[in-house]
Structure 1
C-alpha cells in the first residue's frame, strides 16, 4: 500500500470493499492492519461472480443492478457528510471493482483516486524479470478474450501479461502455445500475498489456477548478455553465414515473412511476432529497413537480385541452430522470396530445415482496396518482367487472360532498363478490351508517395509507369463511377452476364 492510501484510510469514516458471496475480501485483508474498530464497514457483496444467474437481464443485468445498489449505499454515507474510502486491490482504475462506483459517484461528490501497485508490476517484481525495455511494447490482455484474439495479440507483441486466469487458463495456455510464446511464459499467483506461487506456465496444472493469477511473457532484451546491441551486416554469400555462426547447434528454423506493400499497418500479427522472435533477419535492404531494430538481432542485407543467395544464407544460418526470418515485401509467395527459399530448401543439405511461409498483404489486393473493388470477380496476376521468363511467354499469358475476360493485376510493369513492356501490353490488351476499359495506376501504395489514378486503356501512358507502380486492368464488366464526395471508385461486379 502507498503512504497516501494509509493516510486516507486513517482519515475515513467508512471503509467499503467488494467481495464474492463467501464474504472474504482480498482488498480488506491487505488493509486490515490499518482498520479501526470505529470504522463503519460496507461489504459490497457481488450477487454473482462467474456462475450463471436467473436475473431477467442476465449476468450483465444482475451486475448493473448490484452496482446501482452499491453506489446508492455509499451515497447515503456521503450525503450524511461521511468520508468513504473504497479499497481495491491493485490499482482502482485498472480492471478494478471500484471503477463501477467511480462512474456512478465521482461526478456527484468530491473524489480522489489513490493509485496502487498493479498485479502486473507485482508479478514482474516477484519474478525478478523486467517487463519491457527500450522500444519493446507491453500488451496487457484479459484471459477472457477468445482464443484466436489472444493468439494473435500474443504473437504480435514484444512482451505481455495475461490477467484473469482461473477457468480461462486452458484457453490462455493454448494461445501461448499457438503463438510460440509458451517457452517464455511464467505463471504468478497471488503476488506479494500469502500463498504466492511462481512457476513456468507450461508446468502449471489447470485445476490449481485461481482467478487472481497472471501469466507474464517478460522482456526478451533483458535476457541478452550485457552490452548486446543490434548489428547490421551486409550478406550476399554463404561466406557470411560461416562468419556469423559457429559450429552447428541443432536445427533452427526459417520463416519467410511478408511485410505487406509498405509499413507496419500492413503487417499481420503473426508476421510481426515472427520478426520479433528471429535471431537473424535476411532480406533486400529496402524491406529490412521496414523492420524495427531490436537488440541482439543480426541483419543480413543485400540488393534485389540475389534471391537464391539470400535463401542459401538463411538456410545455412538455420542449419547452425539460428531462428531466421527472411523478409519479403507484399506476400512472400507472390513474385517474392518464398519460392526461392523453398527451391533451395528442397536440396541437400537443407531438406531437414523447418521452413514456414507467413502470408502478407500483396500489392494487388492493397491497390484494389484503394481503388474500390476492381478484383471483385475472377482475375489473373501476371508479372511483366522478362528478366526471369521470355516476353513471348508473357504475351501468350496476356492474350489468354484477356481472351478469358479476366481482370488483370500486372506486377513489375516497368523500370529504368525495361521501358517498352507497358506499351506492348497495352497493344495486346486492346485486341480484347474496349478502349475505355478502366486501368488503375497504383503507385507506392501505403507509402509516403502513394497515388491512385484511373485512366482508359487507350490512354495508358507507359512513361507514367515505373517499378513502384502496379497496374490493374478491368474486365469487360468493370465499372468506374464518381461519387458525390468527388472520389472515383472502380469495381467489377460479382455477377457475370449469362452467355
Structure 2
C-alpha cells in the first residue's frame, strides 16, 4: 500500500503560528522533506524544528540555482524543472514503500511555494492532503495593524518579478496590493509604486513574525538592505482620509479628465482606474458616474448632460480649493466630450494655476469598429451630426468633403428624441459620393446590456432605428463585407489603396 503525501503549511515564521493540523501531520509522518539553497539551511525546517524527531527520515531538497542565471541547456527554467522532477522521484520512492511524507512549506503550501511543484507531480498518484498555513500576506497586515481590504475593495497580489510596466499598471488600477518576492526586485517595485502614484501610502514589511522583523515606509527603505523574505503593502483605502491637498504646499489640487470607454469597467484602462480611485471628488454626467464604483469618503457630483461648461468650471473650483478631482466622461474625453470643456475653462486666468491632465479612453468608434471587424483600417474621418453647437450647413459641407475624399466616416451623435431628421439628410449627402450598397455599421450600446451591431447598406439605412446611443460607421469605396465560414459577417477596409 502506498504512503500518504502531506503538503504542510507552517505559517510566516513564528512557530507558534503553525496550525494544530500541521503539527499533527508532522507527528504522523515517517519522512520530513524541505527545500533549501546550497548552504543547506532551511527556514521551513527551522520553523518546525520542535516537532521533528530523531526517528524522522529527513529529505533535504537542495535547489540547483537560486537566481535566474544557469548554464543548464534549458536555462534557469530547465534547471528547475529537472530539479523538481528529481525531487518528486525521491519522494515517490518513500511513498511507494508505504511511508508517509510531509513536505514542509513556509506560509501556505499552494501560495508561491515550492511544495506546489511536488503536488503537481505526485498528487494524481498518491493519497494527498494539503494543510493550509498563514500566508506572509496575512502576517504582514497583522504586523502593520491595518486592514488589507474592506467592503468591495480589490486586493491584488503581485510577484515583484513582473516587468516594471506591468507592475505599474496593476498598482495604479487596484485598491490594495501586496508585492511579493522583493530582494533584487526592490528598486523596480519602488519605481513602479512611484510611477503609479502609490509610493506615499506604500509600507514595507521584512520577515514578518520572525527574528529581525522590520516595518517601514517603502520610500524610506535602502534597496541594498532588502532580503527576499519581505513584501511591499498598499493597505486598504477605506476609512482613510482621501488626500485632497496637493503636495506642492500651495493648497492647489488637480483635475484629471478620464474616459470610461463606451460602457462599464471592462473598458477602463489601469491608469484611469487609478485616477478614479485616488480622487477626492468625482464630477460628471450622472449616467457616466454610475459606471464608477462607489468608494468610501469619495464625493460624487452628478449633473445633466447639457451643462458641460458649468461642470468644467465647478471641477476647477474644487481643485483650486485643494481637491483632487476626476471629471468622468464617456468614451475618450477628448472626442466630443469633457476634455475640451475643461481645458477651455482652465485657460481662463482664474484657473491657469490649476493642474489639468487628460487620460485617454476607448472611443465609441474604436469599440464599434472592433465589434464589426476592421472598418477603420484605412484613413477615416470623425464627424458629429449634432447641430446643437454648429449649424447643419457646416456638418453637410464636412460630410461632402470627407465623402468626396473617399474616407470611411464615423458619425457620432446621429440622432435623439429632439433630432430626428439628421440621419436622413446625412444619408442623402453621402449618396452623392457613395454607392447605394456601401456598408454601414449600425452599432448601439456597444459594451452595454442592450448591445446591437448590424451591417446594413447605405441606401437601406433607416433613421428611425438610430438614437443617441448609436454610432454609424460608413464605409469607403474600398470597404469589404465578407461572410465567413461560421456565418458571421465582418467588415474591413484594406490598408492599401490603388494608385491614380
- Name the TM-score class by shorter chain: over 0.9
The correspondence for 2:34, drawn from 7, 17, 39, is 17
Map 1:340-379 onto structure 2 (within 5 A).
340-379=341-380
Provide TM-score, normalisation by structure 2. 0.94
Q: Tell me the matched-pair count.
A: 477
- 1:39-93 deviations in whole A, cap 9, x for unaligned? 2211111010115211122111111111111112112222222221111100000
Secondary structure (helix, strand or coil) at the match of 1:221 reads: coil
2:456 equivalent to 1:455: yes
Map 1:188-337 onto structure 2 (within 5 A).
188-224=205-241, 250-337=251-338
Q: 5+ residue gaps in structure 1? A: 226-247
Match of 1:424? 425
Q: Distance in 1 between matches of 2:68 and 2:472?
A: 57
2:182 equivalent to 1:179: no
TM-superposed CA distance for 1:396, in Å, is: 1.3
Map 1:400-419 onto structure 2 (within 5 A).
400-419=401-420
Match of 1:71? 88
- 1:336-364 deviations in whole A, cap 9, x for unaligned? 00000111111122111111111000000
Q: Distance in 1 between matches of 2:60 and 2:116?
A: 16
Q: Is the 8 A contact 1:256 1:357 kept in 2?
A: yes
Secondary structure (helix, strand or coil) at the match of 1:172 reads: helix
Q: Is the 8 A contact 1:129 1:222 kept in 2?
A: no
Q: Is the 8 A contact 1:130 1:222 kept in 2?
A: no
Q: Distance in 2 between matches of 1:256 and 1:374?
A: 28
Q: Distance in 2 between matches of 1:473 and 1:51?
A: 53
Match of 2:6? none
Match of 2:107? 90
Secondary structure (helix, strand or coil) at the match of 1:310 reads: helix
TM-superposed CA distance for 1:249, in Å, is: 7.3
Q: Distance in 2 between matches of 1:493 and 1:195?
A: 64
Runs of 4 or more above 4 Å deviation? none
TM-superposed CA distance for 1:105, in Å, is: 1.4
TM-superposed CA distance for 1:273, in Å, is: 1.3
Q: Distance in 2 between matches of 1:76 and 1:46?
A: 19
Q: Is the 8 A contact 1:189 1:196 kept in 2?
A: yes
Match of 1:380? 381
Q: Is the 8 A contact 2:239 2:296 kept in 1?
A: no
Q: Is the 8 A contact 1:130 1:219 kept in 2?
A: yes
Q: Is the 8 A contact 1:319 1:350 kept in 2?
A: yes
Map 1:78-157 onto structure 2 (within 5 A).
78-157=95-174
The correspondence for 1:170, drawn from 175, 181, 187, is 187
What's the Cα RMSD here? Answer: 1.3
Q: Distance in 1 between matches of 2:126 and 2:288?
A: 56
Secondary structure (helix, strand or coil) at the match of 2:415 reads: coil
TM-superposed CA distance for 1:488, in Å, is: 1.1
TM-superposed CA distance for 1:223, in Å, is: 2.1
- 1:357-393 deviations in whole A, cap 9, x for unaligned? 1100000000111111111000000001111111111
Q: Distance in 1 between matches of 2:454 and 2:80?
A: 54
Provide TM-score, normalisation by structure 1. 0.94
- 1:154-185 deviations in whole A, cap 9, x for unaligned? 11111000000111111111111111111111
2:64 equivalent to 1:44: no
Q: Is the 8 A contact 2:32 2:57 kept in 1?
A: yes
